[in-house]
């Protein structure tokens, strides 16, 4: 059951509105998500979602590009956008008295974007510049390749796109993508902060309630085949990334493995940081985490090191993956719980962060977790439970990507 300060409403056209009041603040925030992520792009058009997102903010209804931005600035709105696997999202925060006018501007963006042909090439250049900036970022290129290697050609697409494909996207393809995927069916609007729920809901109904939904299209969910891939790069550095399948966010065992992975590679007290970087001095960067989609997830780890020490770095990371399966201790569990609770406290001080969190909860869980529920999940995490899970669910590394002068050797049983 929702808390007294939590609200939700589902409109007949598919739009879901979520709210959480934070009356101690003077601001309000929104997170607006459309089913227009990179997974929905037709093959050969990787970058279409990013370009459509950029074009949508370049004028809508009676506002041209400059007028739209000026209107947001006059309202004091701090806004941003994001393209992910499933969604194109917009978020923002402002003073509570300006919140409804800001929502009105984003209703115009979502329903009446101009998508002017005169803006296409300048919008494309913005997207291309983002990709150009990543070309020399070898750590990101390594993780990008790993993502595609593990999740496959559709779910593993890099949301920023592909240079060759982005350059050939047409204005009509942008318009079609906008018409098909900027739709109330699958749209999630999460609001948090100091606002009046009934007043906001009436306004939202007037802005989006009569919007007709378009059918959602399916996409290929086939995962990648895994294995080892090496990309040759003449450099004194070698970049290493690996992935192992695990349970997605929302499943009962997720927090058990999330805790173990936190011990393994989250922060300067983690085992990877201490063993690979601090004790052995093998690398300048090392970390691990979980990347979760709706139906699939993987434990990922990355390290950047010198070519001379790359093989030892890979061997040590794999050894730490094996060692964590033997169990964690009380001090390590305590550290992870403190980190999670600190994040929860930070959300209580940022309505924008909270809006994003409740929107994400709804997409993955079809409900919004309360702070008390998360605390209860943390309290149920014990060393015996985590260690039993690790004993029952061996971590099997299935994908490895390296970038550097020469390939590395994988231990027996990896990939």
Range in 174-178, 293-297, 334-338, 369-373 the model is least confident about: 369-373
Asked whether 414 and 397 are in contact (CB, 8 A), the reply is: yes
For residue 259, name the pLDDT band (cuts at 50, 70, 90): very high
Q: How far apart are CA 339 and CA 352, in angstroms?
A: 20
Q: Which two three-digit tokens encode residue 400?
A: 């490895």
The model's pLDDT over 146-169, given as tens digits with 9 standing for 90+, comes to: 999 999 999 999 999 999 999 999
CA distances 85 to 235, 257, 354, Å, are 31, 23, 21
Lookup result for tokens 């919140």: 99
Q: Tell me, what's the pLDDT at 136?
A: 85
Residue 2: which pLDDT band, with cuts at 50, 70 and 90?
low
At residue 227, the 3 state secondary structure works out as: strand
Query: Is the Cβ–Cβ distance between 221 and 40 less than 8 Å?
Result: no
**DSSP letter string, 158-225:** -TT--HHHHTT--HHHHHHHHHHHSSSTT-EEEEEES--HHHHHHHHHHHHTTPPP-PPPP---PPP-
Residue 342 confidence (pLDDT): 85
Position 233 pLDDT exceeds 60: yes
Residue 359: name the closest of 105, 102, 186 by CA.
Answer: 186
> Which range among 20-24, 99-103, 177-181, 249-253 shows the weakest confidence by mean pLDDT?
249-253
Report which DSSP code applies to 304.
Answer: E
Query: Which pLDDT band holds residue 102 (cuts at 50, 70, 90)?
Result: very high
Position 340 scores a pLDDT of 84
pLDDT value at residue 192 = 97
Q: Is the pLDDT of residue 88 over 70?
A: yes
* C-alpha closest to that of 241 among 226, 260, 256, 262: 226
Q: What whole-number percentage of the chain has pLDDT above 90? A: 89
Instruction: Judge whether 250 and 409 are in contact, CB under 8 Å.
Output: no
Residue 379, Cβ density class (10 Å: 0-12 exposed, 13-18 middle, ≥19 buried)? exposed
Average pLDDT over the chain reads 95
SS3 category, 338: helix
- Average pLDDT of 104-123? 97
Q: For the residues 88-103, what does the mean pLDDT come to?
A: 98
The tens digit of pLDDT for each residue in 360-377 reads 999 999 999 988 888 888
């Amino acid at each position: 059951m929702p808390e007294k300060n939590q609200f939700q409403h589902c409109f007949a056209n598919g739009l879901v509105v979520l709210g959480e009041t934070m009356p101690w603040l003077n601001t309000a925030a929104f997170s607006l998500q459309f089913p227009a992520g990179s997974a929905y792009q037709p093959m050969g058009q990787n970058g279409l979602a990013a370009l459509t997102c950029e074009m949508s903010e370049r004028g809508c209804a009676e506002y041209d590009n400059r007028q739209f931005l000026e209107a947001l600035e006059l309202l004091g709105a701090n806004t941003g956008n994001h393209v992910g696997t499933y969604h194109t999202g917009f978020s923002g925060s402002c003073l509570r008295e300006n919140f409804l006018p800001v929502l009105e501007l984003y209703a115009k963006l979502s329903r009446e974007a101009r998508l002017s042909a005169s803006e296409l090439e300048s919008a494309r250049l913005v997207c291309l510049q983002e990709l150009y900036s990543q070309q020399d970022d070898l750590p990101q290129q390594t993780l990008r390749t790993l993502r595609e290697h593990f999740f496959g050609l559709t779910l593993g697409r890099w949301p920023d796109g592909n240079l060759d494909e982005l350059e050939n996207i047409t204005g009509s393809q942008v318009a079609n993508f906008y018409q098909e995927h900027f739709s109330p069916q699958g749209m999630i609007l999460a609001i948090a902060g100091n606002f009046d729920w009934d007043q906001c809901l009436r306004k939202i109904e007037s802005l989006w309630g009569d919007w007709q939904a378009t059918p959602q299209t399916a996409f290929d969910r086939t995962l990648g085949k895994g294995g080892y891939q090496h990309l040759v790069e003449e450099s004194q550095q070698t970049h290493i990334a690996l992935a192992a399948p695990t349970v997605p966010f929302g499943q009962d065992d997720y927090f058990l493995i999330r805790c173990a992975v936190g011990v393994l590679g989250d922060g300067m007290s983690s085992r990877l940081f201490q063993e690979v970087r601090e004790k052995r001095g093998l690398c300048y960067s090392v970390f691990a985490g979980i990347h979760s989609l709706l139906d699939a997830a993987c434990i990922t780890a990355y390290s950047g090191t010198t070519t001379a020490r790359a093989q030892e770095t890979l061997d040590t990371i794999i050894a730490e993956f094996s060692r964590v399966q033997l169990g964690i201790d009380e001090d390590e569990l305590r550290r992870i719980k403190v980190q999670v609770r600190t994040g929860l406290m930070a959300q209580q001080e940022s309505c924008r962060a909270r809006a994003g969190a409740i929107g994400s909860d709804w997409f993955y869980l079809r409900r919004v977790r309360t702070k008390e529920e998360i605390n209860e999940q943390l309290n149920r995490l014990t060393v015996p439970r985590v260690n039993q899970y690790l004993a029952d669910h061996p971590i099997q590394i299935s994908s490895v990507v390296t970038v550097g002068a020469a390939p590395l050797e994988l231990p027996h049983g990896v990939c």
